[in-house]
Chains A and B, each alone.
Chain A
Amino acid sequence: MKLLVVEDETELLEVIQQSLEKQSYVVETAGTFNDALEKITSFNYDCILLDIMLPDGNGLRLLEELKKTERSNNVIIISAKDSLEDKIAGLDGGADDYLVKPFHLAELNARVKSVLRRKSLNGSNKIDLAQLSLDLNERSVIVNGKDLALNRKEFDILSYLVINKNRLVNKVSLAEQVWGDHMDAADDYEFLYSQIKNLRKKLRESLSGVEIQAVYGIGYKLAAV
């Protein structure tokens, strides 16, 4: 899988690149509008992360250029603009998703995977890990051939952790993902813990071969045992 990250902030570009490379993607970068335009017209990418505020041009124009190439590109806009009009303009312009800065790397990772999965077009939306098999469409989990009964939140937590397997998932990011955007203002995340505790127990008892590790003070990580 080959990705292009278009971002004028070199440092942000660097961390995004590092994070995506951890997922074993081939990551190319562009720091300017012209640089990005050149790469887009010459190469084919599976997914493009696009900052729309570039010093030498509007990222939305790159979207237009992409449309002209008639290749099926997947574009995720990354922007500090969080107004509804900007989101609508981006999505109407042909972007598949819109991510507002600052974002968690786990969130970015999940969005990229979701876009890539949609692109693979084989209809199924399954992720296998150790003895686990998650069906994201059916929202079901099979462990060792048997259904694992999970409530909505447990499933959401597990799928987010599985998508970000072996990666550290910040608890704020997890809370936003599972409980909704308004939970980002919660002053602590104790409420996460009871769901995680139940989920851990279920994963252990079903011999799933994975476990949720707590990373002190930051969040959680799903790893095969």
Chain B
Amino acid sequence: MNLLNYTLKYLYLTLLVVISIWAVIFYVRMIDEIMDSLDDGLENDKMLVIQKVAHDKATIARAGFYEHNYSIRPINKQWGLSTKDSYKDTMMYTLNEKDLEPFRVLTTAFKNDGSYYELKVVASTLEQDDLIRSLLYSLLGLYAAILISILVVNNVLLRKIWIPFYQLLARLKVFRLDKDVLIETTTTAVKEFKELNMTVAALVEQSVKAYGSQKQFIENAAHELQTPLAISLNRLELMAEDETLSNANLQSIGQVITTLQRLSRLNRSLLMISKIENKQYGEVELVVFNTLVNTLANEYQDFAEAKKVQLSLVELEPFSVMMNRDLAAILISNLLKNAVTHNITGGIVTLTISAAAITVTNTGKQEPLNQEQIFKRFQKDSQSKHSTGLGLAIVLAVTKLYNFELSYSYTGQHQFTITQQL
């Protein structure tokens, strides 16, 4: 439900309650006024009749509802003295409606020439059920008219006023920190939207700056760390070419080279995680994983063979997704490397590709891994001296970036599954 209709919902409910209460009050007051006015009329009629009787006594005999709007009948003194003016509603037959209709009756008593008479004066009154129905219909009409006019005003006028807001929202949705420099805003006369535009523009500018400096920092860090590593490694490589060195010397140099290479790899992996998390791998394209997995499985074939691990690939369906090609390769090669490295002699690695998921299954230690721990940084198998402990952390970072689901399960074999969220 969008904002416009959301407010309307409450407005409609409030209007319904207000109009209903108003209708009841209005009705009661109107009836009151009408009765008051009718009763005044009856009072006047009563006085006219009594006057008439005083002038012409035969009026008493002529009275009756058949001809007049009053009737007179004699009563005893005691009754006559105790009767007071009373107004009542009653039903009487009318010719035009051919039915009983409501009438207002004034019952009173008067004295003429020592005799007491009861006088009833009537006046046709309104039919209350008709009035209620008519009032209800009118009110429903009014309610509908109000609802429709609000809806129209909202949709035509308010929608127009809200245009800058929706445009801003649309631009924010497609905004990319790694691509866009600033956000375009629509000019508006509404103060709140002006403020919103300014705030968003400022925020975006700040984010772009922060993103830029973060990116710059990562690049500088890479440069500052890789340069001394490059110097040391290259110097050692040159040194190792010295023919006069003994095997023991060479072995030491080799160990230092290996350690430095690990450091360099570690540095690169950390920078990579940081770049992934900062969304610095911008370029996306449609990556068909089947081709990619085939290529990588091929590259890893010798590596697996040396460990006496059998690699097999089961392609059920094509798996393709819009993502950065380098990251796709990193994702698969890290999983593959992990499956081969933590395997056993004569073990197997099976890659299964279906339209929704890629599964890497491998033999290995006969116990499940700790699900909580495996994807954490620097979490590693103590037996493997060379691994950086960042492989699966990188896998996790990539899957998070593209909203893939990454899961691990153990059913005699270790199984890692990447599922596309459709």
Q: Of A22, A80, A103, A153, which contacts B222 at CB under 8 A?
A: A80
Q: In the complex the two chains form, is B337's CB within 8 Å of A215's CB?
A: no
Q: In the complex the two chains form, is A11's CB within 8 Å of B241's CB?
A: no
Say whether, besides A11-B231, A16-B234, A215-B240, A182 and B333 are in contact (CB < 8 Å): yes
Instruction: State whether the Cβ of B329 lies closer than 8 Å to any Cβ in chain A.
Output: yes
Q: Of B254, B307, B333, which contacts A185 at CB under 8 A?
A: B333
Say whether, besides A19-B238, A104-B237, A191-B303, A185 and B226 are in contact (CB < 8 Å): no
Instruction: State whether the Cβ of A82 lies closer than 8 Å to any Cβ in chain B.
Output: yes
Instruction: State whether the Cβ of A186 lies closer than 8 Å to any Cβ in chain B.
Output: yes
Q: In the complex the two chains form, is A218's CB within 8 Å of B219's CB?
A: no
Q: In the complex the two chains form, is B233's CB within 8 Å of A9's CB?
A: no
Q: In the complex the two chains form, is A19's CB within 8 Å of B261's CB?
A: no
Collect the chain A residues with CB atoms within 8 Å of residue B302's CB.
153, 179, 191, 194-195
Complex Cα–Cα for A218 and B238 (A): 12
Complex Cα–Cα for A9 and B300 (A): 36
Instruction: State whether the Cβ of B253 lies closer than 8 Å to any Cβ in chain A.
Output: yes
Separation in Å of the A147 CB from the closest CB of chain B?
Answer: 24
Q: Of B223, B261, B265, B299, which contacts A80 at CB under 8 A?
A: B223
Q: In the complex the two chains form, is B254's CB within 8 Å of A191's CB?
A: no
Q: In the complex the two chains form, is A101's CB within 8 Å of B226's CB?
A: yes
Say whether, besides A102-B233, A104-B237, A217-B254, A180 and B299 are in contact (CB < 8 Å): yes
* B302-358 CB contacts (< 8 Å) to partner A: 302-303, 305-307, 326, 329-330, 333-334, 337, 341
Q: In the complex the two chains form, is B384's CB within 8 Å of A187's CB?
A: yes
Instruction: State whether the Cβ of B108 lies closer than 8 Å to any Cβ in chain A.
Output: no
Which range contains the number of A residues in contact with the other chain? 35 or more
- Chain B interface residue count, CB cutoff 8 Å, equals 50
Collect the chain A residues with CB atoms within 8 Å of residue B257's CB.
170, 218
Q: In the complex the two chains form, is B254's CB within 8 Å of A218's CB?
A: yes
Q: In the complex the two chains form, is B303's CB within 8 Å of A179's CB?
A: yes
Closest to A80 in B: B223
Q: Of A172, A183, A195, which contacts B261 at CB under 8 A?
A: A172
Complex Cα–Cα for A51 and B286 (A): 34
Collect the chain B residues with CB atoms within 8 Å of residue A186's CB.
303, 337
Instruction: State whether the Cβ of A225 lies closer than 8 Å to any Cβ in chain B.
Output: no
Instruction: Fill in one digit per residue for B277-315: 1 if any A CB lies within 8 Å of its CB, else 0.
Output: 000100100000000000010011011011100000000
Collect the chain A residues with CB atoms within 8 Å of residue B329's CB.
182
Complex Cα–Cα for A179 and B240 (A): 24
Instruction: Fill in one digit per residue for A84-128: 1 if any B CB lies within 8 Å of its CB, else 0.
Output: 100000000000000001111110000000000000000000000
Instruction: State whether the Cβ of A12 lies closer than 8 Å to any Cβ in chain B.
Output: yes
Instruction: Fill in one digit per residue for A1-37: 1 if any B CB lies within 8 Å of its CB, else 0.
Output: 0000000010110011011001000000000000000
A residues lining the B interface (CB < 8 Å):
9, 11-12, 15-16, 18-19, 22, 53, 80-84, 101-106, 153, 167-168, 170, 172, 179-180, 182-188, 190-191, 193-195, 215-218
B residues lining the A interface (CB < 8 Å):
219, 222-223, 226-227, 229-231, 233-235, 237-238, 240-241, 247, 250-251, 253-255, 257-258, 261, 264-265, 268, 280, 283, 296, 299-300, 302-303, 305-307, 326, 329-330, 333-334, 337, 341, 384-388, 391
Question: Can you name 24 A-B pairs with beta carbons within 8 Å?
Answer: A11-B231, A16-B234, A18-B238, A19-B234, A22-B241, A80-B219, A82-B222, A83-B219, A84-B326, A102-B227, A102-B230, A102-B264, A104-B237, A153-B302, A182-B296, A183-B303, A185-B265, A185-B333, A185-B388, A185-B391, A187-B386, A190-B307, A195-B302, A215-B250
**The 6 residue pairs across chains A and B that have the minimum distance between CB atoms:** A217-B254, A102-B230, A187-B386, A191-B306, A80-B223, A191-B302
